[in-house]
Amino acid sequence: MKFHYLLVDDLLEKGEFERRVEEKVAESGDLLDERTAAMLVVKDLGRSHIRIRDLAAAPSLACFFAKVLSVGEPREFERPDGTPGIVANVTVGDETGRARLTLWDEKAAGVSEIEAGDVLEILAGRRGKERSPTSPPSPSRRRRARSPVMRGETLRLPDRRGTSRSG
């Protein structure tokens, strides 16, 4: 539920968000779980899951569903301060386009749990100044400019029983 709150934290306090979620659950006669109720509260506030084509116009934090198209191998690197890091890219898509997720450290190390064909719920933030996916790419970045780059904050990974778990 805390991740859904991040989509609207500029609109209301956390306690008010939680109160509205509890109210949705009660209104449903306890047919809704907290996660579903939180999604409804977010939607009531004018925010909801978006399509990949709309990522360029999204606020700094966006939530969307996408199918995994490819998973890159994690790569180790050294940060300027000398500490080690891990990075991995995951290409996802929906019927409106494709996006590249860049996962860092523990999330990058966990890409072995993701397979092409999985459908993920992604809560992600933009990295730096990104150009619109329809902008003409510069010659040196032609491959990267085809899809927005998102920094993966939270991935809801499907477990093999058909339910979701946070990763």
Please write the tens of the pLDDT for every residue from 98-148.
999 999 999 898 898 999 999 988 877 765 544 333 322 332 322 333 334
Taking CA 128 as the corner, what is the angle to CA 49 and CA 103, rounded to the nearest 5 degrees? 65
What is the Cα–Cα distance from 85 to 77, expressed in whole angstroms?
5
Both tokens assigned to 70: 């490819």
pLDDT score of 7:
79
CATH superfamily to which 49-166 belongs:
Nucleic acid-binding proteins (2.40.50.140)
pLDDT score of 123:
78
pLDDT score of 126:
64
Please write the tens of the pLDDT for every residue from 51-84.
899 888 776 678 888 999 999 999 999 999 999 9
DSSP the chain: -HHHHHTTTTTS-HHHHHHHHHHHHHHTTS-S-HHHHHHHHHHHTT-----GGGGGGS-SEEEEEEEEEEEPPPEEEE-TTS-EEEEEEEEEEETTEEEEEEEEHHHHHGGGG--TT-EEEEEEEE-SS---TTSPPPGGGTTGGGS-EEEEEEEEEEPTTS-EEE-
Please write the tens of the pLDDT for every residue from 146-161.
334 444 444 444 443 3
149-158 and 97-104 strand pairing: parallel
pTM exceeding 0.75:
no
- Domain chopping of the chain, boundaries: 1-48, 49-166
Cα 50 to Cα 26, 101, 146: the distances in Å are 27, 15, 18
